[in-house]
Structure 1
Amino acid sequence: MTDLRVAIAPDSFKGTATAIEVTNALAEGWLTVRPGDTVLRMPLADGGEGTLDAFELAVPGARRMPVTVTGPDGRDVDASWILLPDNSGVIELAVTSGITLLDPLQPMDAHTVGFGQAIAAALDSGVDRLVLAIGGSSSTDGGLGALTALGAVFADADGNPVVPGGRGLGAVASVDVSKLRPVPAGGATILSDVTNPLLGNAGAARIFGPQKGADEAQVAELDAGLARLATLLGTDPDTTGAGAAGGTGFGLLAWGAVIAAGADAVGDVVRAPEAVASASVILTGEGRFDGQSDAGKVPSYARSLAEQSGATPMLVAGAITAEPAGFTEAVSLTELAGSADAAMADTVHWLREAGARLARTV
């Protein structure tokens, strides 16, 4: 049996296993079958949950910077951001204002204040550049909360500050940006795997609102509020990615940030193309492989790396609901475990089993 070089480069399985845990479990399973193989562990991210982990593991000298922020439901959250050796700050919305911080969901009241507070903390430390990972959001507030934390004042018709969250969007009549903190000299890059516009049938409220608990009437109310915000901030709501993170992409664009495809941008920073160039197999994965997985998410990025290097691409996902085109082999944990509940109850175990199963196919 010829020993192989295997790159394991998955995203997190949201809510059940971090990208690092997924990587390690797949590696352990693979090595039980092919112990002589060289395994390169490279957890990736697309701007959602696990982005900080990917940067911390892949960039020598990266440092965790603890910060306590106001979570999406008003409770304090102990979070952190990453300071890179080049004096860039990486902030992840999922750990400050993410949907996994809520139980139950609060479609009208969840907000991004904590995300803005973490950005402010990085600015206070003197970073030259910001990398803003905005996947995994809990709210549809157009970034109103984050911009408020950065100094903007959103007021109602009586001149009173509106409440944070989607509910406040409907009351916004004016915005004062005179005290809004500027983007750092090196700029701010938004990492997102979402290409949706801000408004309409493909927009933030209509597409992602229901996932955050919004009913039909609330979706309509949130979309109208986002339209009001767009009028006040003057940025084009049709910009690709403006609808990301409940419109937080739009708010950050209005602030002066620029948007980049999440998985590609993270991969470039951690030098994934160079790292996997000599691999014979690239094994990737995510919690759910579906119709959106080809829109800049980690599996499509890893598959493109395999195409460039001539490696064999393989996929593991908690559930596979779309044709895994382009992958030589694909394993669904739901099918492997017998049910979604069983797969989620012991995800790490089933990831090991998936790694072993794929190793046997080589």
Structure 2
Amino acid sequence: MKILIAIDSFKGSISSIDASEAISLGIWDVDHEAEIVALPLADGGEGTVEALVQATEGQFIHKEVTGPLNEKVDAVYGILGDKKTAVIEAAAACGLPLVPLNKRNPLITTTYGVGELIRDAINKGCREFVIGLGGSATNDAGVGMLQALGFSFLTQLNEEVSPGGQGLRDIRKIDTKHVIPELKACTFKVACDVNNPLYGPNGAAFIFGPQKGATPEMIKELDKGLETFTRIVRQELGKDIHNIDGAGAAGGLGAAFAGLLDARLQSGIELVLEIIGMERKMHGADLVITGEGKLDGQTSMGKAPLGVAKLAHKHKIPVIALAGCITEEADRLNELGITSFFSITNRPMALEEAMDPAVTFNNLRSTTTQLFRLLKAVQSNAKM
């Protein structure tokens, strides 16, 4: 029996790699001869670098960069096994966890470190990039990132604007004379699972600003800045960045990538599955096991387990999904390609205990063991 394991991390508990190991052990507890193919999985957010580096036998790169508060932070990105593709999570350089609660202020937080990671990868020979958006503490429309790559955003006095969202309203001119020349040879694929415009009621500031520490007054100022930035980009570069689907992602990083770096924004899970060659590796599989920490209505909107299930359904391979928590909205997943799903929580327990890495690991293993005991019994009876 060939089983493909493609499971996302259980956020706040265990990684995709550890979850895969637990499931593998659960299978081997019952079937010592099972052929297991385990592919670490992510949906373009947290864990994407780890999953893609592991899947392609790449390497992790550690780099000190400018953090969201203009302080130095240690960030990690990956270079894939082809040695020419870099995978970067924007949150590694400008993520919300890097900013203490009492210092969250998107008027001042910057994406400069994201540009420094890109520049470092370019210096190491990379010309293809996979970028994971999401979880940023910023609302600077990617201006900080672009400055690190050589763009200049100037005020009426011909001075560089202040970092963060506060500087956007002061932009009057864009100077591209010092953009690093290698950038022209680079291609960017960006994992983006929102379709918000850059500004307005559904834009970056109004929708995502509050979780980044923005007050109602800040949100209005940030939104005005994003509108000003849009106008100046149109005026100086002839590009409309406002109406790009996903322009408002990660505080406007989506607009910077798509509008100024000609990036392709696409579904995070589709991008990851494409890079790791999921469909090719499914060939010959008898069963696919996927899952994540919580199966709910959001899963059906295009998260990792659904992306795996769609591919498996295409090849008529049954899919089991495992999760720590399953809500009523998950019932729809049966119609979308997941054959059956199971919670690994085997008794009443507090959330803190359920999310303990050791508990999650053991629960994944024991649930898998029980499922395969059933499968083995069914197979045995079918042969009689």
TM-score, length basis structure 1: 0.87
- Check whether the contact 1:152–1:180 (CA below 8 A) recurs between aligned residues: yes
- Which 10-residue stretch deviates more, 245-254 or 94-103? 94-103
Please state how far the C-alpha of 1:248 moved relative to its aligned partner. Answer: 0.5
Tell me the secondary structure at the aligned position of residue 239 of structure 1: coil
Greater helix content: 2
Q: Which residue number in structure 2 is paired with residue 266 of structure 1?
A: 272
Q: Which residue number in structure 2 is paired with residue 220 of structure 1?
A: 220
Q: Which residue number in structure 2 is paired with residue 181 of structure 1?
A: 180
User: Is there any run of 5+ residues in structure 2 with no aligned partner, and where?
Assistant: 235-239, 376-384
Q: Which residue number in structure 2 is paired with residue 134 of structure 1?
A: 133
Q: 1:281 aligned to 2:267?
A: no
Please state how far the C-alpha of 1:191 moved relative to its aligned partner. Answer: 2.1
Q: Which residue number in structure 2 is paired with residue 342 of structure 1?
A: 353
Q: Which residue number in structure 2 is paired with residue 352 of structure 1?
A: 362
| Alpha-carbon distance in 1 for matches of 2:174, 2:358 | 47
Q: Structure 1 residues 239 and 64, CA, compared in 2 at 3 Å: closer, same or farther?
A: same
Q: How does 1:113-124 map to 2 (within 5 A)?
A: 113-124=112-123
- Check whether the contact 2:23–2:368 (CA below 8 A) recurs between aligned residues: no
Please state how far the C-alpha of 1:174 moved relative to its aligned partner. Answer: 3.3
Please state how far the C-alpha of 1:147 moved relative to its aligned partner. Answer: 0.8
Percent identity between matched residues is 33
TM-score, length basis structure 2: 0.82
Deviation per CA, 1:284-333, whole angstroms, max 9, x where unpaired?
Answer: 23344444434442122111122122222233345445325223333456
Please state how far the C-alpha of 1:120 moved relative to its aligned partner. Answer: 0.8
| Alpha-carbon distance in 2 for matches of 1:214, 1:288 | 28
Instruction: Give the one of 9, 27, 33 matched to 1:12.
Output: 9
Aligned residues: 357
Deviation per CA, 1:257-283, whole angstroms, max 9, x where unpaired?
Answer: 222222112211111111123223322
Tell me the secondary structure at the aligned position of residue 188 of structure 1: strand
| Alpha-carbon distance in 1 for matches of 2:286, 2:34 | 10
Q: Which residue number in structure 1 is paired with residue 104 of structure 2?
A: 106
Please state how far the C-alpha of 1:334 moved relative to its aligned partner. Answer: 7.3
Whichever residue aligns with residue 342 of structure 1, its letter is E
| Alpha-carbon distance in 1 for matches of 2:24, 2:105 | 38
Q: Which residue number in structure 2 is paired with residue 73 of structure 1?
A: 69
Please state how far the C-alpha of 1:100 moved relative to its aligned partner. Answer: 2.8
- Which 10-residue stretch deviates more, 10-19 or 92-101? 10-19
Please state how far the C-alpha of 1:228 moved relative to its aligned partner. Answer: 1.9
Q: Which residue number in structure 2 is paired with residue 167 of structure 1?
A: 166
Q: Which protein shows a greater Rg? A: 2
| Alpha-carbon distance in 1 for matches of 2:203, 2:18 | 33
Q: Which residue number in structure 1 is paired with residue 201 of structure 2?
A: 201
Q: Which residue number in structure 2 is paired with residue 191 of structure 1?
A: 191
Q: CA RMSD in A?
A: 2.7
Q: Structure 1 residues 73 and 126, CA, compared in 2 at 3 Å: closer, same or farther?
A: same
User: Is there any run of 5+ residues in structure 1 with no aligned partner, and where?
Assistant: none
Tell me the secondary structure at the aligned position of residue 91 of structure 1: strand
Q: Structure 1 residues 190 and 359, CA, compared in 2 at 3 Å: closer, same or farther?
A: same
Q: Structure 1 residues 340 and 5, CA, compared in 2 at 3 Å: closer, same or farther?
A: same
Q: 1:240 aligned to 2:237?
A: no
Instruction: Give the one of 305, 310, 314 matched to 2:316.
Output: 310
Q: Which residue number in structure 2 is paired with residue 147 of structure 1?
A: 146
Please state how far the C-alpha of 1:113 moved relative to its aligned partner. Answer: 1.1
Tell me the secondary structure at the aligned position of residue 363 of structure 2: helix
Q: Structure 1 residues 273 and 142, CA, compared in 2 at 3 Å: closer, same or farther?
A: same
Deviation per CA, 1:127-157, whole angstroms, max 9, x where unpaired?
Answer: 2322222233222221111111111222344
Please state how far the C-alpha of 1:69 moved relative to its aligned partner. Answer: 0.8
| Alpha-carbon distance in 2 for matches of 1:214, 1:341 | 29
Whichever residue aligns with residue 367 of structure 2, its letter is R
